[in-house]
Amino acid sequence: MFQGFDLSILPLLAVLIPAVGAGIVAIISFYSSWWRNFAATVITGATLFVILSMYPVVSGGQVISFQLFNIVSPLNLTFRVDSFSFIVALIACFVWLAATIFSLSYMEHEQNRGRFFSILLLTLSGTVGVPLAGDFLSLLLFFEIMSISSYVLVVHTQTDEAYSAGDLYLYLGVAGGMSILAGMALFYFRNGTLAIAPATMTAPGIDIVVPIAAILMIIGFGIKAGMAPLHIWLPRAHPVAPAPASALLSGVMIKTGAYGIISVVNVMLIPSLGPSVAQHVSGLYTEFWSMVSGMGYVIIWIGIVTMFMGVILAIIQENIKKMLACSSISQMGFILVGVGVAGYLKYEGAMGMAGASYHIINHALFKSALFLAAGVIAYKLGELNMYKLGGLWKKLPFTTLVVIIASLGIAGFPFFNGYASKTLLHHALVEAYEHYGVTALLEAERIFMISAAGTVLYYLKFIYLVFLRRPPEELADSINKIKGEPRSMKLGMAMLAVMIVFIGFNPGYLLNMLIIPSVSTFVFCPGFIEHHIVGINFFAASDIISSLVVLGLGALAFAIGLKSGLFSMSIPAWMGQEFFATQFGKMMVSLWNGISNVFVSILGAVGKGFSVVFQTGFSILQGLDYRPGKSDTLRFINLSNIDFDVILIMGILAGALVVLFYLQFGIFGIGI
């Protein structure tokens, strides 16, 4: 595709194109809305084209590397693209293009459109940079660019509710970044490198620094991923953000958190392959692998709790976007289960990572499509309360079709994309139970199935209340006036819906083209991949029956809930997550005030001491200073009418230069 072109520069181009494009779009916005929309779409498409250009290299098992010197001091800004990072970058750009096209019509009724499109591109730059980064410090740089710029998307409407949700989003993002930074410092101290590459951990035995560093970084990335109990920002940020931004927050940006967690597991919890694989398995690294397996077990249960909690929260929501946000929490739980199984089964955990990778792609597609569909409803009616809607299938048939397709995908219905990834994840969880026979994992598998049935329940509720039932009388006139979706909205949703169906009918195609090459970049047993994943039959009778049983249980629960009026019940405020988040926030504020008051007192006393020393020293310098007519003290120090304090400053600077020269080059061949 780029004959005679240095392919190693492609990752840098993928980051620079949207970053520079953000400035171009901001300037164009002052002159022409049409050219602004055109430029935003073309720049996003160009970024996708650059990412696609990497496929011939990474699909063959090669790695694209590039670095810029002295950008992220004291390390270089590095890029490293393998099959797995390519998947995350590819799906991010594809969904971004669909959301940008959808935005062309959706943003017509919004203010500050130029700011929205320029920030959208800047956020794309940071989001794409995360999977393309070659070390954790470079990854953190792009992660923070993504987090800070996406804050502007969350508060775009500039309402009090938007600012409140944006503040929570920003505070948790900063806390996550600090947690990642602390973990990185410990990891660098222990291993001497921050490179993101499989099997770089040099310690064969248990070292308390390694698990602490891993936990800190998993917490930091877990905040962005919506991992329970760090998920509290999701249900608040999504409803206030414009629909295209919500689609990207849920469909793409939380995947960067999942990517970070997977990178931590792959890099920090997998020892270097200096010894042979046989030695690893036979017992030389038994102690280390025991720690890895234990952390994988914990991640499995974090995933189980996250998926089940997300289901419960989604069932009780009235607002469509809040329901979809809680659904994202649940679906991130499915991904975490796959990551946990990969760690728990160690060299034989390829099935878990394959399922997690597949579900990252699938969730990005169907959840983004659902958020865009919610945007159509908000655009046409300005109402997102499911209990105040109904009968939209007649006026918005295309949106109804997209919602049904995406809902069948997320429910795991055969011949829709979610079926393939959930099948792999279910197989992985069963393998984890059968491998060690831990009874608790059998219970985890049952919760997995219950959560899958719960997903069916709340999407049936969504489809029935919003599209199928008769509309309430107060909205009947407004619904009758709806004329249909704009073309750009249809195109954006169609891009995602077509992929959902294509993957559903051809699950093996995506498995062979993307998933297996990506799993092969991890430290897993090649024989296991060859015999258990390559050529897997997705449409085995047992898997289809299992899927249909889940769908039947979900449908039965929906019917019971509809007849009993359960869906109309609301939980007490003290049981809601926002109550606990508020109380936790108040506790942290009180704790911070107590700590800060102590520090203020100490700093005040120290400040007064320094003030006295400074004033005394300044008075002495004034006495030594050469001032004609006032003092002859030390007049011989004066050179060409240069004051004494100026000479003193020059001396200090000269000394500092000598010290810096020593630190850089050393003395007598000895440097640091």
Residue-wise pLDDT tens digits, 171-201: 777 888 888 888 888 887 777 777 777 656 5
Residue 424 burial (CB < 10 Å; 0-12/13-18/19+)?
buried
pLDDT at 626: 46
Q: What is the DSSP letter of 574?
A: G
Of the pLDDT bands very low, low, confident and very high (cuts 50, 70, 90), residue 547 is confident
Which residue reads 């070390």 in tokens? 135
What tens digit of pLDDT does each residue of 396-425 get? 899 999 999 999 999 889 989 889 999 999
pLDDT at 94: 93
What is the CB neighbour count within 10 angstroms for residue 578? 12
First and final CA of the chain: distance in angstroms? 45
User: At a CB cut-off of 8 Å and minimum separation 6, what does 635 contact?
Assistant: 626
The residue among 346, 379, 326, 349 whose CA lies nearest residue 488 is: 379
Structure tokens at 462: 């969504």
What tens digit of pLDDT does each residue of 264-315 get? 877 766 655 544 444 444 455 566 667 777 778 888 998 898 889 888 888 8
The residue among 89, 74, 105, 299 whose CA lies nearest residue 184 is: 74
User: At a CB cut-off of 8 Å and minimum separation 6, what does 222 contact?
Assistant: 176, 230, 257, 261, 302
The residue among 292, 290, 327 whose CA lies nearest residue 312 is: 327
Residue 199 Ramachandran class (φ > 0 left, ψ -120 to 50 alpha, else beta): left
Best-predicted range by mean pLDDT among 167-181, 198-212, 420-434? 420-434
pLDDT at 618: 64
- The span from the CA of 366 to the CA of 405, in Å, is 8
Residue 76 burial (CB < 10 Å; 0-12/13-18/19+)?
middle
Structure tokens at 532: 């258990």
Structure tokens at 7: 């392919």
Residue 653 burial (CB < 10 Å; 0-12/13-18/19+)?
exposed
Structure tokens at 241: 């953000």
The residue among 107, 126, 106 whose CA lies nearest residue 115 is: 107
What is the CB neighbour count within 10 angstroms for residue 169? 26
Q: What is the DSSP letter of 534?
A: T
Find out whether 463 and 401 touch, Cβ atoms under 8 Å. Answer: no
Find out whether 259 and 339 touch, Cβ atoms under 8 Å. Answer: no
Backbone phi and psi for residue 68, each to the nearest 5 degrees, phi listed first: -110, 130
CA dihedral 594, 597, 601, 602 (to 10 degrees): 60
Structure tokens at 127: 């989001």
What separation in angstroms does the CA of 415 have from each of 411, 453, 513, 544, 564? Answer: 11, 17, 18, 10, 32
The residue among 362, 373, 374, 448 whose CA lies nearest residue 409 is: 362
Q: At what angle do helices 136-154 and 160-191 cross, to 10 degrees?
A: 180
What separation in angstroms does the CA of 618 have from each of 123, 362, 603, 615, 622? Answer: 50, 68, 22, 5, 6
Find out whether 149 and 123 touch, Cβ atoms under 8 Å. Answer: yes
User: At a CB cut-off of 8 Å and minimum separation 6, what does 202 contact?
Assistant: 191, 192, 271, 272, 274
Of the pLDDT bands very low, low, confident and very high (cuts 50, 70, 90), residue 587 is low
pLDDT at 275: 45
Task: Give the chain's count of helices (H) and strands (E).
Answer: 26, 2
Q: What is the DSSP letter of 472?
A: P
* In the predicted structure, residue 126 carries a pLDDT above the cut 50: yes
Among the residue ranges 289-293, 381-385, 484-488, 517-521, the one predicted with the least confidence is 289-293
